[in-house]
């Protein structure tokens, strides 16, 4: 760092006086342009320049410290070390720093390619949304600047879109396992287990209208929280549900009646988050459904509207229709890195966040499956649950069991180094990916628990060697974007 600072001093020659004013006119065009002054200071070896226009002026160093490199892609930034470095630059006279409110311009080159239009045809307005020269700017009225603020202990994330906001735990308790196929769920034991997770700080639960008794269990659980826990505890508990309707006409009454069922089952006046799924893109009724959901949000029956398993193209269409979605729940793991391609790029530009599921692949990313040969009957653990079977198919598409064993061995080395489990490393790696607000870990309520592993995620810090080794092992497999398609396409393939 010191070498760089001293090198920058060579840019400043001996002090000289420069004519401080230049006036430009455009009389030939019939325009009257006021004189703009650019005054070079004679102090500090011609280091400073004053930019001025009438009564507005600003004195800056002529060599600016650009901070784009803090946005990711140049290595992990330690906050305290970064601030110390900034002080060294300032102490050396390099006292002007350039930054942005959102680090999004670094993704504009990729987005321009994605949209198949030249970057020169795009400009950026004051809040960073894209415009086309010569074309009226689309105003995303509902898409005010998003904020994603982590709590000091990095356990919670607060996502805000205009007046819509939701504070969730970054490790989400997934309740797909209550829908059958993982063992019989006893209602009282399940609710006791939910309270145990919440008491441990894991206070966000994800469910769906099609997950068997999941919404009903949450309703019983939330009533116990109201009775048995203080009000401030209740404020931290969040229930995220999904609506998976049949492809029928999305009338206002149909949507309203469907949402009222979830509100009744969960025993809440307003759903914390409603995540919408749609089976068939050839049926544009998903836009009607989302507009009706937005109306229900305005009525106070839903706090935030979100998506699940939508691809990048449809997410962009939804945003262009001014529907204020705050997140998209998608499959994302070290094996399935599809969301970090087109989807994450659009999310970075718009502020939409990702909530991920399948992050531990139903338990495949664990010590239980390390050094196993499942091709020999009864020689290894059984692939006997819906989630294990689903994600085993993903392993097959990615590269097969042998290659997957190499990935598990890499994860085990990282896990042993930090004294945590493979699954803890797997979730932390995804949580650290761009645009990811939270990651799902499935819970088998009353049957087994992994509270300790989940809480260990928050204190785990993966260093550069860890990240590089995991990335290398992951990249040995096939690109699932080419094999399967974009996020959610696995549900829409014939």
Domains in the chain: boundaries: 2-98, 146-491
> pLDDT for 181-201, tens place per residue?
888 889 999 999 999 999 999
Name the pLDDT band for 9 (thresholds 50, 70, 90): low
pLDDT in tens, 367-413: 999 999 988 887 889 999 999 999 999 999 999 999 999 999 999 99
Residue 109 has pLDDT above 50, yes or no: no
pLDDT of residue 78: 60
Kindly report, residue by residue over 338-372, the tens digit of the pLDDT. 999 999 999 999 999 999 999 999 999 999 999 99
Lowest mean pLDDT among 5-14, 108-117, 324-333, 380-389: 108-117
Is residue 409 within 8 A of residue 446, CB to CB? The reply is no
The pLDDT value recorded for residue 200 is: 97
pTM above 0.75, yes or no: no
pLDDT cut 90: percent of the chain above it:
65
Q: Which of 7-16, 43-52, 221-230, 311-320 has the lowest mean pLDDT?
A: 7-16
Residue 238 in this model has a pLDDT that exceeds 90: yes
Decide yes or no: CATH 3.40.470.10 for domain 146-491: no
Residue 7 has a pLDDT of 54
- CA angle, 339 as apex, 333 and 340 as ends, to 5°? 95
Which has more pLDDT, 247 or 393? 393
């Amino acid at each position: 760092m010191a070498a760089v600072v001293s090198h920058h001093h060579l840019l400043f020659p001996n002090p000289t006086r420069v004519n401080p004013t230049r006036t430009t006119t455009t009389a030939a065009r019939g325009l009257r342009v006021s004189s703009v002054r650019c005054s070079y200071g004679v102090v500090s070896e011609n280091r400073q320049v004053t930019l001025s226009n009438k009564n507005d002026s600003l004195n800056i160093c002529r060599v600016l410290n650009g901070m784009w490199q803090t946005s990711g892609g140049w290595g992990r930034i330690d906050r305290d070390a970064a601030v110390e470095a900034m002080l060294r630059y300032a102490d050396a006279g390099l006292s002007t720093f350039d930054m942005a409110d959102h680090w999004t311009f670094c993704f504009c080159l990729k987005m321009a390619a994605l949209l198949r239009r030249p970057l020169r045809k795009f400009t950026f307005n004051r809040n960073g949304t894209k415009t086309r020269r010569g074309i009226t700017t689309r105003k995303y009225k509902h898409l005010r600047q998003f904020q994603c603020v982590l709590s000091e202990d990095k356990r919670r994330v607060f996502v805000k879109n205009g007046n819509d906001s939701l504070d969730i735990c970054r490790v989400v308790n997934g309740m797909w396992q209550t829908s059958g196929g993982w063992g019989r769920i006893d209602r009282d034991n399940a609710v006791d287990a939910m309270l145990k997770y919440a008491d441990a700080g894991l206070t966000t639960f994800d469910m769906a209208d099609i997950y068997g008794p999941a919404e009903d269990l949450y309703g019983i659980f939330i009533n116990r929280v109201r009775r048995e826990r203080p009000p401030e505890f209740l404020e931290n508990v969040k229930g995220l549900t999904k609506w998976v309707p049949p492809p029928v006409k999305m009338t206002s009454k149909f949507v309203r009646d469907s949402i009222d069922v979830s509100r009744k089952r969960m025993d809440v006046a307003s759903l914390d988050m409603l995540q919408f799924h749609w089976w068939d893109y050839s049926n544009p009724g998903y836009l009607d459904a989302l507009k009706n959901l937005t109306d229900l949000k305005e009525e106070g029956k839903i706090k935030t509207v979100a998506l699940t398993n939508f691809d990048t193209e449809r997410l962009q269409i939804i945003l262009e229709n001014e529907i204020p979605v705050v997140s998209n729940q998608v499959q994302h793991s070290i094996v399935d890195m599809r969301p970090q391609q087109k989807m994450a790029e659009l999310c970075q530009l718009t502020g939409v966040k990702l909530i991920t599921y399948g992050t531990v692949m139903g338990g495949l990313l664990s010590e239980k499956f390390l050094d196993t040969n499942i091709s020999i009957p009864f020689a290894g653990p059984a692939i006997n649950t819906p989630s294990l079977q689903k994600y085993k198919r993903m392993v097959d598409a990615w590269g097969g069991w042998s290659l997957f064993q190499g990935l598990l061995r890499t994860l085990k080395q990282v896990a042993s180094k930090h004294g945590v489990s493979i699954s803890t490393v797997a979730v932390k790696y995804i949580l650290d990916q761009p645009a990811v607000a939270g990651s799902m870990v499935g819970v088998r309520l009353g049957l087994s628990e992994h509270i300790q592993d989940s809480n260990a995620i928050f204190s785990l810090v993966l260093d550069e060697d860890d990240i590089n080794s995991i990335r290398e092992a992951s990249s040995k497999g096939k690109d699932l974007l080419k094999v399967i398609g974009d996020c959610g396409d696995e549900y829409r393939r014939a």
